[in-house]
Amino acid sequence: MIKVALAGNPNVGKSVIFNALTGMRQKIGNWPGVTVEKKEGVCKYKDVEFHIVDLPGIYGFTAHSIDEKIARDYILKEKPDVVVNVVDASNIERNLYLTMQLIEMEANIVIALNKMDLAEQRGYKIDVRKLSRELGVPVTPTVAVRGEGIEELKSAILQASKTKRKPSIRYSDGIERYISLVESKVIENSILPDCPLRFVAIKLLELDNEIMKEAKVGKEVIEKWISLVS
């Protein structure tokens, strides 16, 4: 069985894609310890079974809300085989912020570029192949409300489960120097060894409260580290 998580901003059509993939083979409950709804389902494709979890709609992984914490913890701790990042093609710039964070988390991503019809109505022209090439992840155009692209998405999920890509995003040389320095400190101090190194370093640089709490590293320590960068 392939473990698949659906992640995306609110109102991108994630639930529509979940329903299109799972049909009647789904159940609804709550995430452990909270009243947030948890939707799970099963999709069978080419004699392979996908176990699909629909994560709460979020804009990022700063864990300011319970929804963000649920989504982040699931990806970091449950380590799904594939994360389907549902992106609204008509609002692509805002949506790709979450995509960048998923890449930093070393998630094995497939992008479902949804609402392509709405993007076209607004006059947007998206070079899907170039977007895939630049991000280093598969991109499948979909119009979920009409069922368009769903079979192609299933194929992309199956293929991604076999390839296990780990794309990376490079920032400016100045930012990369800070990331490298904090990465070295994370290794040196054995900080959150089960989490992706680069993700932890970036979140510490962002002074992410949840990560600092889990890492048992205070703001003053991080400021001391970054002072070492010349």
What is the 3-class SS of 121-156, one letter each residue?
Answer: HCCCCCCHHHHHHHHCCCEEECEHHHCECHHHHHHH
Lowest-confidence segment of 23-32, 128-137, 148-157, 180-189 by average pLDDT: 23-32
Tell me how far apart the alpha carbons of residues 176 and 144 are, in angstroms, rounded to a whole number.
38
pLDDT score of 167: 73
Could you write out the DSSP letters of every residue in 101-120? Answer: HHHHTT--EEEEEE-HHHHH
As a whole number, the mean pLDDT across the chain is 91
pLDDT at 63: 63
Q: Which of 97-101, 126-130, 145-149, 209-213 has the lowest mean pLDDT?
A: 209-213
For position 107, what pLDDT does the model report?
92
Instruction: Quote the percentage of the chain above a pLDDT of 70.
Output: 99
Which single residue is written with the structure tokens 């101090």?
189
So what's the pLDDT on residue 153? Answer: 97
Residue 228: pLDDT band with limits 50, 70, 90: confident
| Overall average pLDDT of the 17-27 stretch | 89
Q: Is 90 exceeded by the pLDDT of residue 169?
A: no
**Tokens coding 149:** 């692209």
- Model pLDDT, residue 64: 74
List, in sequence order, the alpha helices (H) in 42-91. 66-73
Whether residue 141 has pLDDT greater than 90: yes
Give mean pLDDT, residues 200-219: 91
Residue 10 — very low, low, confident or very high, per pLDDT cuts 50/70/90? very high
Segment 60-79, tens digit of pLDDT:
887 678 899 899 999 999 99
Determine the average pLDDT of the residues in 52-64.
Answer: 88
pLDDT, residue 126, reads 94
pLDDT band at 230; cut points 50, 70, 90: low
> Measuring CA to CA, which residue among 54, 43, 55, 53 is closest to residue 1?
43
Ranges of each domain in the chain: 2-163, 173-226
Query: Beta 139-141 vs 109-114: how paired, if at all?
Result: parallel
Examine the pLDDT at 202 and tell me if it is beyond 90: yes
- Residue 38: closest CA among 81, 70, 78: 70
2-163 CATH fold: Rossmann fold (3.40.50)
Helical pair 150-163 and 14-22, crossing angle rounded to 10 deg: 90
Give the model's pLDDT for residue 113.
98
